[in-house]
């Protein structure tokens, strides 16, 4: 954060903004300084071109930092990001919103994620409920619950199977949400719980 503050001082009049999607914006950067700034944020590991894609996950602080949470969220996001670390694969999947909340307060907006993940407590153990089909765009919708919840260790596999179902059923240039709305939840449920 100190490095981001230094970049803000140097390039954007000391101003840093955060977005709803948990990205950092340095506003009012002079056009002739953009490449230089990009080189510096790249060296810090902040220049991954994944906004709007699978690895740009909205995730609440979860049980690691919030006393209201039922489950940890950050390790689930990290597990998914590690599984899908190939940008070419991420781009092939296309636009996708994954949102993760550690409790019903929904700080991660899981209910409007194309894939939403909600941490739940089952007799003192952390489990994760998955919903599909949510959207916070102009075509807003709440996701539908896929079925019974999953253990933490299963979550990357669950997401991978959801995405495999999408990839096997999508039509040319069709995004995840479009495929989901066309084929419905049943095919996803069948494959994930098989």
User: For 153-172, how does the pLDDT look when each residue is reduced to its tens digit (9 = 90+)?
Assistant: 999 999 999 999 999 999 99
R_g of the chain computed on alpha carbons: 18
Domain boundaries, the chain: 2-43, 58-192
Find the angle CA(87)-CA(128)-CA(77) to the nearest 5 degrees.
25
CATH of domain 58-192: 3.30.413.10
Give the residue-averaged pLDDT of 60-68.
92
Q: Which two tokens stand for residue 38?
A: 């990009």
Q: Are 121 and 90 in contact (CB under 8 A)?
A: no
Q: Are 41 and 7 in contact (CB under 8 A)?
A: yes
Please give the Cα distance from 89 to 176 (Å, whole number).
14
Check residue 23 and give its pLDDT.
86
Grade residue 22 by pLDDT with cuts at 50, 70 and 90: confident
Please give the Cα distance from 181 to 65 (Å, whole number).
35
Confidence (pTM): 0.90
**What's the chain's length in residues?**
194
102-147 pLDDT, tens per residue?
999 999 999 999 999 999 999 889 999 999 999 999 989 999 999 9
């Amino acid at each position: 954060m100190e490095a981001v503050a230094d970049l803000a001082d140097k390039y954007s009049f000391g101003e840093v903004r955060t977005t709803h999607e948990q990205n950092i914006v340095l506003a009012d950067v002079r056009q002739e300084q953009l490449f230089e700034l990009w080189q510096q944020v790249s060296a810090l590991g902040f220049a991954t071109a994944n906004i709007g894609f699978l690895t740009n996950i909205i995730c609440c602080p979860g049980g690691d930092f919030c006393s209201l949470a039922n489950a940890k969220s950050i390790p689930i996001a990290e597990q998914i990001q590690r599984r899908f670390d190939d940008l070419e694969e991420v781009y092939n999947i296309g636009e996708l919103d994954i949102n993760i909340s550690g409790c019903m307060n929904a700080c991660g907006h899981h209910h409007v994620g194309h894939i939403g993940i909600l941490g739940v407590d089952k007799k003192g153990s952390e489990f994760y409920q998955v919903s599909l089909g949510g959207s916070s765009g102009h075509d807003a919708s709440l996701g539908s619950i896929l079925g019974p919840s999953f253990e933490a260790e299963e979550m990357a596999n669950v997401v991978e199977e959801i995405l495999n179902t999408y990839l096997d059923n999508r039509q040319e240039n069709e995004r995840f949400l479009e495929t989901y709305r066309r084929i419905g939840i049943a095919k996803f449920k069948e494959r994930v719980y098989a």
